[in-house]
């Protein structure tokens, strides 16, 4: 090893001994003021430059050692490159053989991968662990149960941070539930509106499938259609009527997707802390693409009393199907009565027929819920009743769309005369009695007898 001073050209030679350094001979003229090197007992791993001394240190090692180190590194590098090349060639060869032998399967796997990737990107929903939801609902206790539908139960849950949730747990026995679940996740994930319930996430673990919604402290409109309806004054009822209309308008026209709900009813209208309505439960909803405005189905699903005649008879549905259901809800909110539970002993009408008869006889205000008294504006009540009757007309082409409904509810535009509502079966008992009496007299004249058989 040679050490050369930067101040002079005199060379000092030391005996080489592997990678160890030995103490150099003292040369006071050159090394004065410079610390002496001590013998290093360990392998030299690194050398550093100490610029403050103003000295440069040059280390020379045998060429054989450099060649050995470089050769060893090159061998390792070449080994890795050859190994990677062989593995890559093998994988490519196997892939080519598989594609050539099973072209259909390979294409199918590729398409499935693309679809799964696309669905994950579209949904963009957070997922909840089953254990977290079980703890939040006290292991799905009946005390936390908010309601029950055709596809499962809904529970109230509270997370550790205090956030309240509504957990819709899909029934394991429901054969149709899986499709409804996937449909609801795909649709609601894309929808954002103040009058639509917000979907917070989902849970899919084993056989368990759940939807997690924002919690509505006032439950559903159906809850207030019973004795609790006294809590809804006319202002709140009109606000609910208008809010549902805006939510439907968004689904039918203003959102990126055109969606037909197909199961609009009071139990699917949730109320928040301010009693603002939010449409929920999209399990039966259908998506219309492009310019599509109607469709048919062989499996009629929905709730009796809210489905229109064309859907019940022929499986035909469109945006006008939701309009019909909305009209039923308007008349129920105004009257405080349920269409399915209402009966008119004198005319055998349902609620729709009863409302239409009162309106035709210019007695529409008699439909108003008696608990409201005189606290409402009569003109506004009559306008709501007339809009409701326009929505439930027998023929779908006679019903207005939701954009027209919103304008009619909040404007002074003159309304058209509603036609006969769907499922209208007017029967006059007094006329039937007179007809029966006349027939009896006629039969007596002809000396004929009539026997009426009554079932026991």
Q: What DSSP element (H or E) covers 385?
A: helix 378-391
Going by C-beta distance under 8 Å and a sequence separation of 6 or more, which residues neighbour residue 297? 315, 317
- 77 assigned binding-site residue: no
DSSP-assigned letters across all residues of 240-289: HHHHHHHHHHIIIIISSSEEE-S---GGGEEE-TT--EEE---TT-EEE-
CA dihedral 220, 224, 225, 230 (to 10 degrees): -170
Task: Tell me which residue of 205, 196, 221, 216 sits closest to 154, measured CA to CA.
Answer: 216
Q: Indicate which residue of 233, 254, 263, 291 is catalytic.
A: 263
Going by C-beta distance under 8 Å and a sequence separation of 6 or more, which residues neighbour residue 52? none
Helix axis angle for 234-249 and 319-335, nearest 10°, is 180
Judging by DSSP bridges, how do beta strands 286-288 and 152-158 pair with one another?
A: unpaired
Are 294 and 318 a contacting pair, CB within 8 Å?
yes
Residue 235, both tokens: 């202002």
CB atoms within 10 A of CB 241: 20
Residue 294, both tokens: 């109607």
Is 124 among the residues known to form the active site? no
Catalytic residue numbers? 263
Binding residues for ATP: 168
């Amino acid at each position: 090893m040679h050490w050369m001073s930067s101040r002079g050209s005199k060379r000092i030679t030391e005996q080489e001994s592997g990678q160890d350094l030995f103490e150099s001979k003292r040369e006071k003229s050159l090394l004065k003021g410079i610390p002496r090197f001590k013998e290093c007992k360990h392998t030299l791993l690194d050398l550093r430059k100490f610029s403050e001394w103003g000295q440069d240190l040059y280390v020379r090692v045998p060429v054989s050692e450099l060649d050995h180190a470089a050769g060893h590194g090159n061998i390792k590098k070449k080994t890795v490159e050859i190994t990677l090349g062989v593995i890559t060639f093998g994988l490519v060869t196997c892939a080519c053989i598989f594609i050539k032998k099973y072209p259909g399967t390979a294409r199918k796997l590729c398409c499935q991968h693309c679809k799964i990737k696309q669905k994950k990107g579209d949904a963009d929903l957070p997922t909840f662990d089953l254990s977290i939801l079980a703890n939040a609902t006290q292991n799905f206790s009946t005390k936390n149960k908010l309601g029950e539908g055709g596809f499962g139960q809904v529970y109230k849950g509270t997370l550790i941070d205090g956030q309240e949730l509504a957990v819709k747990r899909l029934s394991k026995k429901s054969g149709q539930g899986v499709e409804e679940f996937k449909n609801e996740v795909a649709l609601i994930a894309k929808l954002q509106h103040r009058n639509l319930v917000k979907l917070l996430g989902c849970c899919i673990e084993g056989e368990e499938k759940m939807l997690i919604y924002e919690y509505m402290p006032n439950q559903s409109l159906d809850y207030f259609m019973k004795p609790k309806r006294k809590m809804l004054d006319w202002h709140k009822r009109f606000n609910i009527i208008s809010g549902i209309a805006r939510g439907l308008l968004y689904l039918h026209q203003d959102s990126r997707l055109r969606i037909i709900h197909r199961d609009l009813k009071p139990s699917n209208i949730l109320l928040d802390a301010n009693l603002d309505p939010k449409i929920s439960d999209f399990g039966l909803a259908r998506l219309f693409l492009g310019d599509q405005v109607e469709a048919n189905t062989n499996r009629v699903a929905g709730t009796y009393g809210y489905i229109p005649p064309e859907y019940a008879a022929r499986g035909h549905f469109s945006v006008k199907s939701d309009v019909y259901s909305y009209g039923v809800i308007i008349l129920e909110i105004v009257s405080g009565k349920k269409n399915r539970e209402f009966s008119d002993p004198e005319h055998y009408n349902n609620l729709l027929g009863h409302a239409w008869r009162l309106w035709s006889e210019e007695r529409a205000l008699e439909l108003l819920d008696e608990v409201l008294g005189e606290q409402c504006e009569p003109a506004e009540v009559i306008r709501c009743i007339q809009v409701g009757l326009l929505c439930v007309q027998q023929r779908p082409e006679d019903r207005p769309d939701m954009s027209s409904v919103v304008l009619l509810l909040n404007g002074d535009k003159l309304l058209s005369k509603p036609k006969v509502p769907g499922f209208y079966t007017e029967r006059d008992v007094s006329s039937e009695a007179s007809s029966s009496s006349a027939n009896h007299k006629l039969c007596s004249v002809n000396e004929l007898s009539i026997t009426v058989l009554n079932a026991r």
